[in-house]
Amino acid sequence: MRRVVITGVGLNSPLGNSYDELYESLKAEKCGIEYVPEWEIIKDLGTKVAGRVKNVDLKAIPRKFRRSMGRVAQLAAVSTGEAIADANLTQDMLSSKRCGLAFGSTMGGNETMFEYMPEVQAKMSFRGQNSMAFLKMMSHTVAANLAQMFEIKGRNIPTCSACTSSSQGVGAGYESIKYGMSDIMVCGGAEEHHYLSAGVFDVMAAASTKHADEPHLSSKPFDASRDGLVVSEGSGALILEELEHAIARGAKIYGEIIGYGTSCDGSHITTPSKEGMQQVMETSLEDANLKPSDIEYINAHATATARGDIAESHATHSLFGSQTPVSSTKGHMGHLLGGCGVVESAICLIALNKSLLPKTMNFETLDKECAPINVLSKNVQKDVNIVMSNNFAFGGINTSLIFKKYQA
Protein backbone atom coordinates (compact mmCIF):
# COMPACT_ATOMS: atom_id res chain seq x y z
CA MET A 1 0.00 0.00 0.00
CA ARG A 2 1.11 3.57 -0.71
CA ARG A 3 2.34 5.68 2.19
CA VAL A 4 0.43 8.86 3.04
CA VAL A 5 2.16 11.91 4.50
CA ILE A 6 1.04 15.37 5.59
CA THR A 7 2.74 18.23 3.74
CA GLY A 8 0.60 21.25 4.66
CA VAL A 9 -1.35 22.53 7.66
CA GLY A 10 -3.75 25.46 7.92
CA LEU A 11 -6.15 26.28 10.74
CA ASN A 12 -8.27 28.87 12.50
CA SER A 13 -9.11 28.14 16.12
CA PRO A 14 -9.85 29.80 19.47
CA LEU A 15 -6.20 29.05 20.34
CA GLY A 16 -4.65 30.62 17.27
CA ASN A 17 -4.69 30.72 13.51
CA SER A 18 -1.62 28.71 12.59
CA TYR A 19 0.22 25.54 13.54
CA ASP A 20 2.85 27.57 15.40
CA GLU A 21 0.27 29.71 17.25
CA LEU A 22 -1.58 26.57 18.32
CA TYR A 23 1.64 25.07 19.63
CA GLU A 24 2.54 28.19 21.60
CA SER A 25 -0.95 28.39 23.10
CA LEU A 26 -0.90 24.76 24.19
CA LYS A 27 2.59 25.17 25.61
CA ALA A 28 1.49 28.25 27.57
CA GLU A 29 -1.67 26.44 28.77
CA LYS A 30 -3.96 29.14 27.33
CA CYS A 31 -7.74 28.85 27.17
CA GLY A 32 -9.70 30.27 24.23
CA ILE A 33 -13.16 30.00 25.79
CA GLU A 34 -14.96 33.24 26.63
CA TYR A 35 -18.27 34.66 27.82
CA VAL A 36 -20.66 35.52 24.95
CA PRO A 37 -22.78 38.53 26.00
CA GLU A 38 -24.87 38.46 22.78
CA TRP A 39 -26.45 35.21 23.91
CA GLU A 40 -28.05 36.87 26.93
CA ILE A 41 -30.98 38.02 24.77
CA ILE A 42 -31.90 34.43 23.83
CA LYS A 43 -34.71 33.21 26.02
CA ASP A 44 -33.90 30.19 28.20
CA LEU A 45 -30.42 29.59 26.72
CA GLY A 46 -28.46 28.32 29.69
CA THR A 47 -24.99 28.19 28.16
CA LYS A 48 -23.25 31.54 27.70
CA VAL A 49 -19.68 30.54 26.77
CA ALA A 50 -17.93 29.61 23.55
CA GLY A 51 -14.59 29.56 21.78
CA ARG A 52 -14.42 31.94 18.82
CA VAL A 53 -11.97 32.54 15.99
CA LYS A 54 -10.45 36.00 16.01
CA ASN A 55 -8.11 38.10 13.89
CA VAL A 56 -9.09 36.50 10.60
CA ASP A 57 -9.74 38.71 7.57
CA LEU A 58 -12.58 36.91 5.81
CA LYS A 59 -12.98 39.79 3.37
CA ALA A 60 -9.60 38.86 1.92
CA ILE A 61 -11.50 36.09 0.11
CA PRO A 62 -12.35 37.45 -3.36
CA ARG A 63 -16.00 38.52 -3.48
CA LYS A 64 -16.83 36.30 -6.46
CA PHE A 65 -16.17 33.32 -4.18
CA ARG A 66 -17.24 34.85 -0.87
CA ARG A 67 -20.76 35.69 -2.06
CA SER A 68 -21.75 32.00 -2.04
CA MET A 69 -20.09 31.31 1.32
CA GLY A 70 -21.46 31.60 4.83
CA ARG A 71 -19.02 32.01 7.71
CA VAL A 72 -18.40 28.25 7.91
CA ALA A 73 -17.19 28.09 4.31
CA GLN A 74 -15.23 31.31 4.67
CA LEU A 75 -13.31 29.98 7.66
CA ALA A 76 -12.63 26.79 5.71
CA ALA A 77 -11.43 28.79 2.71
CA VAL A 78 -8.91 30.74 4.80
CA SER A 79 -7.45 27.66 6.50
CA THR A 80 -7.38 25.74 3.22
CA GLY A 81 -5.55 28.55 1.48
CA GLU A 82 -2.98 28.56 4.27
CA ALA A 83 -2.52 24.78 4.04
CA ILE A 84 -2.06 24.95 0.26
CA ALA A 85 0.52 27.71 0.62
CA ASP A 86 2.25 25.81 3.42
CA ALA A 87 2.52 22.74 1.19
CA ASN A 88 3.72 24.89 -1.73
CA LEU A 89 1.24 23.32 -4.15
CA THR A 90 1.01 24.81 -7.63
CA GLN A 91 -2.26 25.41 -9.44
CA ASP A 92 -1.42 22.65 -11.91
CA MET A 93 -1.13 20.22 -8.97
CA LEU A 94 -4.42 21.38 -7.45
CA SER A 95 -6.34 21.15 -10.73
CA SER A 96 -4.96 17.75 -11.69
CA LYS A 97 -7.42 14.87 -11.71
CA ARG A 98 -5.07 13.25 -9.19
CA CYS A 99 -5.84 15.92 -6.57
CA GLY A 100 -9.07 15.70 -4.61
CA LEU A 101 -10.95 17.20 -1.70
CA ALA A 102 -12.56 15.65 1.41
CA PHE A 103 -14.14 18.28 3.65
CA GLY A 104 -17.15 18.60 5.92
CA SER A 105 -19.12 20.49 8.54
CA THR A 106 -21.99 19.67 10.86
CA MET A 107 -24.31 22.01 8.98
CA GLY A 108 -24.15 24.72 6.36
CA GLY A 109 -24.37 28.42 7.18
CA ASN A 110 -26.50 28.71 10.31
CA GLU A 111 -26.67 32.50 10.23
CA THR A 112 -27.86 32.46 6.62
CA MET A 113 -30.55 29.94 7.48
CA PHE A 114 -31.82 32.09 10.34
CA GLU A 115 -32.01 35.13 8.05
CA TYR A 116 -33.52 33.34 5.07
CA MET A 117 -36.15 30.91 6.36
CA PRO A 118 -38.24 33.25 8.60
CA GLU A 119 -38.52 35.76 5.76
CA VAL A 120 -39.66 33.13 3.30
CA GLN A 121 -42.14 31.75 5.82
CA ALA A 122 -43.53 35.19 6.68
CA LYS A 123 -44.08 36.14 3.03
CA MET A 124 -44.78 32.63 1.74
CA SER A 125 -42.73 33.71 -1.25
CA PHE A 126 -39.19 33.35 -2.56
CA ARG A 127 -39.35 36.61 -4.48
CA GLY A 128 -36.61 39.03 -3.54
CA GLN A 129 -34.54 36.42 -1.70
CA ASN A 130 -30.79 36.23 -2.09
CA SER A 131 -30.02 33.73 -4.84
CA MET A 132 -26.85 32.72 -2.99
CA ALA A 133 -28.66 31.75 0.23
CA PHE A 134 -29.07 28.06 -0.51
CA LEU A 135 -25.44 27.76 -1.57
CA LYS A 136 -24.46 29.05 1.87
CA MET A 137 -26.89 26.75 3.73
CA MET A 138 -26.52 23.46 1.86
CA SER A 139 -24.89 20.62 3.75
CA HIS A 140 -21.94 20.37 1.37
CA THR A 141 -21.37 24.12 1.12
CA VAL A 142 -17.80 23.83 2.37
CA ALA A 143 -16.68 21.11 -0.05
CA ALA A 144 -18.45 22.73 -3.02
CA ASN A 145 -17.16 26.24 -2.40
CA LEU A 146 -13.58 25.12 -1.75
CA ALA A 147 -13.52 23.16 -5.00
CA GLN A 148 -14.61 26.24 -6.96
CA MET A 149 -12.27 28.68 -5.23
CA PHE A 150 -9.16 26.51 -5.53
CA GLU A 151 -10.12 24.85 -8.84
CA ILE A 152 -9.87 21.34 -7.42
CA LYS A 153 -11.21 19.02 -10.12
CA GLY A 154 -10.51 15.53 -8.77
CA ARG A 155 -12.71 13.50 -6.44
CA ASN A 156 -14.82 15.60 -4.06
CA ILE A 157 -16.00 13.91 -0.86
CA PRO A 158 -18.27 16.02 1.41
CA THR A 159 -18.04 14.49 4.89
CA CYS A 160 -20.94 15.93 6.88
CA SER A 161 -21.18 13.76 10.00
CA ALA A 162 -21.39 16.20 12.91
CA CYS A 163 -18.42 15.84 15.27
CA THR A 164 -16.59 13.38 12.98
CA SER A 165 -16.93 15.54 9.85
CA SER A 166 -13.30 16.58 9.63
CA SER A 167 -11.79 13.35 10.96
CA GLN A 168 -13.78 11.45 8.32
CA GLY A 169 -12.47 13.98 5.81
CA VAL A 170 -8.89 13.22 6.80
CA GLY A 171 -9.65 9.49 6.78
CA ALA A 172 -11.30 9.63 3.36
CA GLY A 173 -8.30 11.50 1.99
CA TYR A 174 -5.92 8.97 3.50
CA GLU A 175 -7.78 6.06 1.91
CA SER A 176 -8.00 7.86 -1.45
CA ILE A 177 -4.21 8.10 -1.59
CA LYS A 178 -3.41 4.79 0.06
CA TYR A 179 -5.50 2.85 -2.43
CA GLY A 180 -4.25 4.74 -5.48
CA MET A 181 -7.21 6.96 -6.37
CA SER A 182 -5.39 10.25 -5.74
CA ASP A 183 -1.88 11.59 -5.19
CA ILE A 184 -2.93 14.70 -3.24
CA MET A 185 -5.98 15.27 -1.05
CA VAL A 186 -7.07 18.51 0.62
CA CYS A 187 -8.84 17.43 3.81
CA GLY A 188 -10.52 18.91 6.85
CA GLY A 189 -13.62 20.54 8.24
CA ALA A 190 -15.11 23.64 9.79
CA GLU A 191 -17.82 25.03 12.06
CA GLU A 192 -19.14 28.56 12.51
CA HIS A 193 -20.08 30.26 15.78
CA HIS A 194 -23.86 30.37 16.25
CA TYR A 195 -26.32 30.01 19.12
CA LEU A 196 -28.22 27.31 17.20
CA SER A 197 -25.44 24.81 17.82
CA ALA A 198 -25.18 25.82 21.47
CA GLY A 199 -28.95 25.59 21.90
CA VAL A 200 -29.09 22.06 20.54
CA PHE A 201 -26.82 20.82 23.32
CA ASP A 202 -28.42 23.14 25.87
CA VAL A 203 -31.89 21.58 25.47
CA MET A 204 -30.30 18.15 25.83
CA ALA A 205 -28.74 19.26 29.15
CA ALA A 206 -25.32 18.56 27.64
CA ALA A 207 -23.88 22.10 27.58
CA SER A 208 -21.89 23.80 30.33
CA THR A 209 -24.03 26.39 32.15
CA LYS A 210 -22.24 27.10 35.43
CA HIS A 211 -19.21 29.18 34.50
CA ALA A 212 -20.26 32.26 32.53
CA ASP A 213 -18.33 34.37 35.05
CA GLU A 214 -15.26 32.13 34.77
CA PRO A 215 -15.35 30.82 31.19
CA HIS A 216 -11.87 29.29 31.40
CA LEU A 217 -13.32 26.77 33.88
CA SER A 218 -16.32 25.79 31.79
CA SER A 219 -14.95 22.71 29.97
CA LYS A 220 -13.60 19.93 32.20
CA PRO A 221 -13.11 16.69 30.25
CA PHE A 222 -13.11 13.54 32.41
CA ASP A 223 -13.31 15.59 35.62
CA ALA A 224 -15.80 14.66 38.34
CA SER A 225 -17.11 18.25 38.44
CA ARG A 226 -17.74 18.68 34.71
CA ASP A 227 -21.16 20.05 33.75
CA GLY A 228 -21.18 19.74 29.97
CA LEU A 229 -19.49 20.76 26.75
CA VAL A 230 -18.70 24.17 25.29
CA VAL A 231 -19.69 24.71 21.66
CA SER A 232 -17.01 26.57 19.68
CA GLU A 233 -16.02 27.38 16.12
CA GLY A 234 -12.96 26.69 14.05
CA SER A 235 -11.60 25.21 10.86
CA GLY A 236 -8.61 23.28 9.67
CA ALA A 237 -7.09 21.76 6.56
CA LEU A 238 -4.39 19.18 6.01
CA ILE A 239 -2.68 18.49 2.71
CA LEU A 240 -2.21 14.74 2.38
CA GLU A 241 0.18 13.42 -0.23
CA GLU A 242 1.56 10.14 -1.47
CA LEU A 243 5.06 9.82 -0.05
CA GLU A 244 7.03 9.47 -3.30
CA HIS A 245 5.08 12.33 -4.86
CA ALA A 246 5.98 14.55 -1.89
CA ILE A 247 9.63 13.54 -1.94
CA ALA A 248 9.92 14.13 -5.68
CA ARG A 249 8.91 17.78 -5.32
CA GLY A 250 10.94 18.37 -2.14
CA ALA A 251 7.96 18.94 0.15
CA LYS A 252 8.42 19.27 3.89
CA ILE A 253 6.68 16.47 5.78
CA TYR A 254 4.89 16.95 9.11
CA GLY A 255 4.14 13.29 9.68
CA GLU A 256 2.57 10.15 8.28
CA ILE A 257 -0.93 8.71 8.62
CA ILE A 258 -0.63 4.97 9.12
CA GLY A 259 -4.05 3.92 10.39
CA TYR A 260 -7.71 4.86 10.09
CA GLY A 261 -10.99 3.37 11.16
CA THR A 262 -14.58 4.55 10.96
CA SER A 263 -17.71 2.77 12.11
CA CYS A 264 -21.24 3.16 13.42
CA ASP A 265 -22.62 1.91 16.72
CA GLY A 266 -25.89 1.01 15.03
CA SER A 267 -27.69 1.18 18.36
CA HIS A 268 -28.68 4.63 19.68
CA ILE A 269 -28.91 8.00 17.97
CA THR A 270 -27.33 10.02 20.81
CA THR A 271 -26.05 7.71 23.57
CA PRO A 272 -22.42 6.72 22.90
CA SER A 273 -21.44 3.06 22.90
CA LYS A 274 -18.32 1.82 24.65
CA GLU A 275 -18.31 -1.18 22.32
CA GLY A 276 -18.50 1.00 19.20
CA MET A 277 -15.69 3.23 20.42
CA GLN A 278 -13.50 0.25 21.20
CA GLN A 279 -14.24 -1.34 17.84
CA VAL A 280 -13.16 1.71 15.83
CA MET A 281 -9.88 1.97 17.74
CA GLU A 282 -9.26 -1.72 17.08
CA THR A 283 -9.97 -1.13 13.39
CA SER A 284 -7.43 1.68 13.11
CA LEU A 285 -4.83 -0.44 14.94
CA GLU A 286 -5.47 -3.29 12.51
CA ASP A 287 -5.15 -0.92 9.55
CA ALA A 288 -1.79 0.25 10.91
CA ASN A 289 -0.72 -3.29 11.83
CA LEU A 290 -0.05 -2.16 15.39
CA LYS A 291 -0.63 -3.42 18.92
CA PRO A 292 -2.23 -1.15 21.55
CA SER A 293 1.14 -0.96 23.32
CA ASP A 294 2.60 0.78 20.23
CA ILE A 295 0.46 3.89 20.84
CA GLU A 296 2.36 6.44 22.93
CA TYR A 297 -0.30 9.17 23.29
CA ILE A 298 -4.06 9.42 22.69
CA ASN A 299 -5.88 12.65 21.91
CA ALA A 300 -9.35 11.82 23.21
CA HIS A 301 -12.66 13.15 21.91
CA ALA A 302 -13.83 13.71 25.53
CA THR A 303 -16.23 16.66 25.31
CA ALA A 304 -16.95 16.90 29.08
CA THR A 305 -20.44 15.42 28.82
CA ALA A 306 -21.71 13.11 31.54
CA ARG A 307 -22.08 9.87 29.58
CA GLY A 308 -19.67 10.43 26.68
CA ASP A 309 -16.53 10.75 28.79
CA ILE A 310 -17.44 7.66 30.80
CA ALA A 311 -18.03 5.47 27.75
CA GLU A 312 -14.85 6.72 26.08
CA SER A 313 -12.74 6.11 29.18
CA HIS A 314 -13.90 2.50 29.39
CA ALA A 315 -13.36 1.90 25.67
CA THR A 316 -9.87 3.38 25.93
CA HIS A 317 -8.99 1.45 29.09
CA SER A 318 -10.14 -1.83 27.59
CA LEU A 319 -7.40 -1.54 24.96
CA PHE A 320 -4.68 0.62 26.48
CA GLY A 321 -5.00 0.11 30.22
CA SER A 322 -3.85 2.78 32.67
CA GLN A 323 -0.40 3.66 31.33
CA THR A 324 -0.86 5.31 27.92
CA PRO A 325 -1.05 9.12 28.27
CA VAL A 326 -4.49 10.50 27.35
CA SER A 327 -5.71 14.07 27.09
CA SER A 328 -8.59 16.05 25.66
CA THR A 329 -7.86 19.53 24.34
CA LYS A 330 -11.51 20.60 24.42
CA GLY A 331 -10.87 22.18 27.81
CA HIS A 332 -8.55 24.61 25.99
CA MET A 333 -10.90 25.68 23.21
CA GLY A 334 -14.27 23.95 23.52
CA HIS A 335 -15.80 21.56 21.03
CA LEU A 336 -15.27 22.65 17.41
CA LEU A 337 -17.92 20.15 16.21
CA GLY A 338 -17.25 19.64 12.48
CA GLY A 339 -13.83 21.23 12.86
CA CYS A 340 -12.57 19.36 15.91
CA GLY A 341 -11.05 16.28 14.28
CA VAL A 342 -8.72 18.13 11.93
CA VAL A 343 -7.55 20.62 14.58
CA GLU A 344 -6.91 17.73 16.96
CA SER A 345 -4.99 16.01 14.15
CA ALA A 346 -2.77 19.09 14.03
CA ILE A 347 -2.31 18.74 17.80
CA CYS A 348 -1.15 15.17 17.22
CA LEU A 349 1.43 16.49 14.75
CA ILE A 350 2.57 18.92 17.43
CA ALA A 351 2.98 15.97 19.80
CA LEU A 352 5.15 14.20 17.23
CA ASN A 353 7.23 17.19 16.12
CA LYS A 354 7.41 19.31 19.26
CA SER A 355 7.37 16.50 21.84
CA LEU A 356 4.49 18.24 23.65
CA LEU A 357 1.71 16.12 25.12
CA PRO A 358 -0.86 18.74 26.12
CA LYS A 359 -2.66 18.63 29.44
CA THR A 360 -6.39 18.20 29.91
CA MET A 361 -7.44 21.69 30.97
CA ASN A 362 -9.29 21.89 34.31
CA PHE A 363 -8.78 18.19 35.05
CA GLU A 364 -8.28 17.49 38.77
CA THR A 365 -10.26 14.42 39.84
CA LEU A 366 -11.27 11.57 37.57
CA ASP A 367 -15.00 10.85 37.63
CA LYS A 368 -15.51 7.75 39.74
CA GLU A 369 -17.59 6.19 36.94
CA CYS A 370 -14.72 6.59 34.46
CA ALA A 371 -12.20 3.81 33.93
CA PRO A 372 -8.74 4.53 35.42
CA ILE A 373 -7.05 5.85 32.28
CA ASN A 374 -3.93 8.03 32.46
CA VAL A 375 -5.46 11.50 31.98
CA LEU A 376 -2.76 14.18 31.81
CA SER A 377 -3.33 17.00 34.29
CA LYS A 378 -0.26 18.92 33.17
CA ASN A 379 1.77 19.32 30.00
CA VAL A 380 4.33 16.59 29.42
CA GLN A 381 7.47 17.06 27.35
CA LYS A 382 8.18 13.65 25.84
CA ASP A 383 9.43 12.29 22.54
CA VAL A 384 6.76 10.12 20.91
CA ASN A 385 6.64 8.34 17.55
CA ILE A 386 3.08 7.04 17.21
CA VAL A 387 -0.11 8.75 18.43
CA MET A 388 -3.87 8.27 18.06
CA SER A 389 -6.74 10.74 17.69
CA ASN A 390 -10.35 9.66 18.31
CA ASN A 391 -13.68 11.36 17.54
CA PHE A 392 -17.30 10.33 18.05
CA ALA A 393 -20.54 11.87 16.75
CA PHE A 394 -24.32 11.75 17.03
CA GLY A 395 -25.71 8.75 15.22
CA GLY A 396 -22.96 6.60 16.71
CA ILE A 397 -20.44 7.63 14.05
CA ASN A 398 -16.89 6.84 15.19
CA THR A 399 -13.42 7.62 13.84
CA SER A 400 -9.87 6.80 14.89
CA LEU A 401 -6.72 8.10 13.20
CA ILE A 402 -3.12 7.05 13.86
CA PHE A 403 -0.19 9.35 13.09
CA LYS A 404 3.49 8.49 13.00
CA LYS A 405 6.62 10.64 13.08
CA TYR A 406 8.00 10.69 9.57
CA GLN A 407 11.06 8.60 8.92
CA ALA A 408 12.50 8.31 5.42
Cα–Cα distance, 76 to 54 (Å, whole number): 14
Catalytic residue among 245, 301, 317, 332: 301
Catalytic residue among 163, 187, 340, 348: 163
CB 320 within 8 Å of CB 299: no
SS3 4: strand
For this structure, is 335 an active site residue?
yes
For residue 102, give the amino acid letter: A
Cα–Cα distance, 271 to 11 (Å, whole number): 30
Which alpha helices (DSSP H) does 151-182 contain, by range? 165-178
User: How far from 207 is each of 34, 212, 219, 395, CA to CA, in Å?
Assistant: 14, 12, 9, 18
Return the DSSP state at 120.
H
For residue 78, give the amino acid letter: V
Cα–Cα distance, 336 to 196 (Å, whole number): 14
For this structure, is 301 an active site residue?
yes
Residue in 150, 125, 308, 316 with CA at minimum distance from that of residue 237:
150
For this structure, is 193 an active site residue?
no
Could you list the active site residues?
163, 301, 335
